[in-house]
Amino acid sequence: MAAPRILSGIKPTGMPHIGNYFGMMRPAIEWQERGEAYYFIADYHALTTVHDARMLREHSLGIALDFLACGLDPSRAVLFRQSDVPEVTELAWILSCVTPMPMLENCHAYKDHLAKEKVPSHGLFAYPVLMAADILLYDSNVVPVGRDQKQHVEVTRDLAQKMNGLFGSVFVVPEASIQEAVQTVPGLDGRKMSKSYQNAVEIFLEEKALRKKIMGIVTDSTPVEEPKNPEGSAIVGLYRLFAPEEAVQGMEADFRRGGVGYGDLKKRLFEAMWEYFGPMRRRRAELAGELGEVERVLREGAGKAREQAVRTMERVRKAVGLR
C-alpha cells in the first residue's frame, strides 16, 4: 500500500504559539515519518488580515525558522511558501466556478464576521475555496486538522466530488485526520488559545517576556492557604503539555491541599515550558544565523511542490476544456 500524502499549512500572522505547536506543528513533524508530507506557509491566506508587506515577509521566513527548529526535516518533508506555487490561485478560480454560494455562506469564518457586524472581504468569503485548492493541488490523501477546521476539509471533499462528477476522475478525495490537541490548549484567560483572543503564549519568546506572560495567567482570588480547584485551571492545563504525569499529579495535589499560591504554581509552569523548548530555541538561534540555508530549503521545497502542481493542473485543464 502506498504511503499517504499529507498536506498541512500554517498562516504567517505572527510568532507561533503553544496552540499552533501542539495542534499543527508537532503533529506535522510526526506525520513526516509516516508518508509524503507537504507543508506550506500560507502567505496568500494571511493577506486577509496582514496588510504590511515587510511584516508578511518577516513572518513567513520566521515560520520556516520555527518549523525547522522544532524538528521538520526537509529531506523527509516538502516545506514551501504557498505563493511560490502560483498554480494554486488558478485552481482556486476553477473551483470557484463550481462552488455554490450557500456553501460559502455557511462557513464558520464568514458567519462569525457577520455575527460580529464586521464586513468580510471577498478573500475571507472565498477562503475555503483557496484552502480546497491547497489540498487538491497536491493529490493529498490526509489533512491533519483540529476539529474546528474540519469544515474546510468537508468543503474540499464536496468540491472534489462535484468536479469528479462533472469532469471525470480529476481529484483525489482527501480525508481529515482530527487532531484533538487543538481544542485542549488553554490560553492565558482559560479560553482556547488564539491570537484573535489575545491570550496566546508564543513558543520562542525571550525569557523575560515569557515569564511575564505566564505570570499573567488569569486566576481567581482564592487565598494562598486555601485549597484550589485544578479542574479547568489554565495553569494545570498548560503544565500537562510540558511536564511528566507524576509532576502534573503533584501540581494537582498542591492545588487541592492549599498552602501554595498561584504565583508559585505559575513559576513551576514557566520553568517546565522554558526547559521543554530549550533545545528548539537553541536550534532556532543557529538557523537565524544561516538564513541563506533556510531560503534554500524553501526554494527547493517550492520546486518539488510545483512539479506536482503542474501535473495536477495539466490534468485539470484538460478535463475542464482549457488548453
Judgement on whether residues 294 and 255 belong to the same structural domain of the protein: no
C-alpha 309/C-alpha 135 separation (Å) is 11
Judgement on whether residues 137 and 12 belong to the same structural domain of the protein: yes
- pLDDT, averaged across the chain: 93
174 and 142 Cβ atoms separated by less than 8 Å: yes
Structural element, H or E, at residue 175: strand 175-178
Judgement on whether residues 120 and 222 belong to the same structural domain of the protein: no
Structural element, H or E, at residue 177: strand 175-178
Which grid coordinates are listed for 306?
510545483
Judgement on whether residues 139 and 13 belong to the same structural domain of the protein: yes
Domain count, the chain: 2
C-alpha 284/C-alpha 278 separation (Å) is 10
Asked whether residue 168 is assigned to any structural domain, the reply reads: yes
Judgement on whether residues 154 and 225 belong to the same structural domain of the protein: no
Provide the CB-side half-sphere exposure for 180 (13 A, CA).
Answer: 0
Q: What is the pLDDT of residues 101-139, one digit of tens each?
A: 999 999 988 888 888 878 889 999 999 999 999 999 999
User: Whose CA is closest to 275, among 215, 216, 203?
Assistant: 203
Q: What is the pLDDT of residues 19-68, one digit of tens each?
A: 999 988 998 899 998 899 999 999 999 999 999 999 999 999 999 999 99
Q: What is the pLDDT of residues 221-279, one digit of tens each?
A: 999 999 999 998 999 999 999 999 999 999 999 999 999 999 999 999 999 999 999 99
Expressed as residue numbers, the domain containing 270 is 205-276
Judgement on whether residues 308 and 268 belong to the same structural domain of the protein: no
Question: Residue 180's pLDDT band (boundaries 50, 70, 90)?
Answer: low
Judgement on whether residues 181 and 295 belong to the same structural domain of the protein: yes
